[in-house]
Amino acid sequence: MLQHYIETFSTLGDFIDQFLIGVPSEDKHLEEINADHFEAFEALIKKVSDYNPWFTEESVIEALRGIRLMLHKETLEKWLSDYPLLNQEKERSKDIGVVMAGNIPLVGFHDLLCVLLSGNRLIAKPSSKDEHLIKALAEVLISIQSSLSDKIIFVENYLKDIDAIIATGSNNTSRHFNYYFRNIPKIIRKNRNSIAVLTGSETDAQIAKLGIDIFSFYGLGCRNVTKLYLPENFDLTRIMRIYESYGHMYDHYKYANNIEYHRAIYLMNNISFLDNGSLLLKEDTGLSSPVGVVYYEKYSEIEDIKRTIVENRDLLQCIVSIEEMADVTTAPGDTQKPLPWDYADGIDTLKFLTEI
């Protein structure tokens, strides 16, 4: 059964591949699936911004590219080989409730993947900000493997009569989730942010790659870098010069509105900041910066930053650096390329699902 699921998700990866290269495949195993879904999914990619203006075609393609990385057959087999319980027959599949976030396109896909691979049934409440894409991919999955029609259920209201819950939300909603689902096994995810620690040895190319971590999805994801730690003598204008290439970000009216609002606030309050038109860089001790703004702090000893990371580990999703900073350090440009074993909040979702 597990191998059957691997084949199913691998085929979904092949389906997604077509939209990354821009042309439909001529492979026979996609012929029937494409006849039912290719044109509709292609149209959805182009029009989903009508439902959520942040979900531009470019952002959706970026999200699909990340999902595709997870769905190579060899990658799935490598990942799942660490979970021998998956090969055991279950007495019954459990009903797993999943409350999905909607900050970036298809952010709930990994939870869907984990629930189905664990042999359980998905009872999902998608975010109103991202319900069309996840439902469309689910339809493709069911087209590939019809038995999944009984394994994927979407609901609009509160989840009830479930055996366990995986919920992603804000710090405020997490308290609600913890209380409401207090009597069942759960994973409750809160707000997290990602940071980058620069050593001063970075090349311009590496700083340019860091721009991917900052600007992808307009900075809305928990894997987006919102805070920079910089050596005391670091030239801030170097960053702003390199990121002038992101001037097109200002063409998005919601992103531009955020820039203009915070620029006005900072000017009225005589707050110092750097501005290259597409990004505001502001000195601040906070971790979570507004859209269009990145905070920075300067340090004299990098060991101090390593201690800060340890102290704030539960608030951080990704730590980006060319030097090892923590248990998991991500290279510049790679935060939006998580593999299936790169679990959100460092919580092993598949282990949780196999043990309930």
Q: Is 302 exposed, middle or buried (0-12, 13-18, 19+ CB in 10 A)?
A: middle
Q: How many Å apart are CA 67 and CA 134, to the nearest integer? A: 12
Q: How many residues does the chain have?
A: 356
Q: Which position has the token pair 């087209």?
A: 143
**CATH value of 193-320 in 3.40.309.10, 3.40.50.1580, 2.60.40.10, 3.30.230.10:** 3.40.309.10
Q: How many Å apart are CA 317 and CA 355, to the nearest integer? A: 24
CATH superfamily of 2-191: Aldehyde Dehydrogenase; Chain A, domain 1 (3.40.605.10)
Q: Do 353 and 96 touch, CB atoms closer than 8 A?
A: yes
Q: What pLDDT score does 170 carry?
A: 87
Query: Whole-model pTM?
Result: 0.95
- Straight-line distance from the first to the last Cα atom of the chain, in angstroms, rounded to the nearest whole number: 19
147-152: list long-range contacts, CB under 8 Å, 24+ apart: 148/8, 148/116, 150/121, 151/93, 151/116, 151/120, 151/121, 151/122, 152/112, 152/116, 152/121, 152/122, 152/124
Per the DSSP assignment, residues forming a β-bridge with 197 are: 229
Write out the two tokens for 149. Answer: 């029609």
Q: What pLDDT score does 13 carry?
A: 98
Q: Do 348 and 77 touch, CB atoms closer than 8 A?
A: no
Q: Do 163 and 356 touch, CB atoms closer than 8 A?
A: yes
Where are the CATH 3.40.309.10 domain residues in the chain? 193-320
Q: How many Å apart are CA 111 and CA 154, to the nearest integer? A: 13
Q: What is the CA radius of gyration of the chain?
A: 21
Q: What pLDDT score does 339 carry?
A: 96
Q: What pLDDT score does 290 carry?
A: 97
Q: How many Å apart are CA 334 and CA 331, to the nearest integer? A: 6
pLDDT tens for the chain, 356 residues long, are 789 999 999 999 999 999 999 999 999 999 999 999 999 999 999 999 999 999 999 999 999 999 999 999 999 999 999 999 888 777 778 999 999 999 999 999 999 999 999 999 999 999 999 999 999 999 999 999 999 999 999 999 889 899 999 999 888 888 889 998 999 999 999 999 999 999 999 999 999 999 999 999 999 999 999 999 999 999 999 999 999 999 999 999 999 999 999 999 999 999 999 999 999 999 999 999 999 999 999 999 999 999 999 999 999 999 999 999 877 899 999 999 999 999 999 999 999 999 99
Q: For residue 67, what are the CA distances in angstroms to 17, 89, 99, 142?
A: 10, 28, 19, 17
Write out the two tokens for 174. Answer: 């997490």
CA angle 183, 108, 13 (to 5 degrees): 135
Give which of 126, 188, 229, 228 is closest to 345, Cα–Cα: 188
3-state secondary structure of 317: strand
Per the DSSP assignment, residues forming a β-bridge with 125 are: 99
Centroid of chain to Cα 297: 25
Q: What pLDDT score does 213 carry?
A: 98
Q: How many Å apart are CA 342 and CA 348, to the nearest integer? A: 9
Q: How many Å apart are CA 205 and CA 248, to the nearest integer? A: 19
Q: What pLDDT score does 6 carry?
A: 96
Write out the two tokens for 279. Answer: 């990004």
Q: Which position has the token pair 């707050």?
A: 271
Where are the CATH 3.40.605.10 domain residues in the chain? 2-191
CA angle 118, 164, 317 (to 5 degrees): 75
* E strand map for 142-215: 152-154, 164-168, 186-189, 193-197
Q: What pLDDT score does 1 carry?
A: 76
Q: Is 141 exposed, middle or buried (0-12, 13-18, 19+ CB in 10 A)?
A: buried
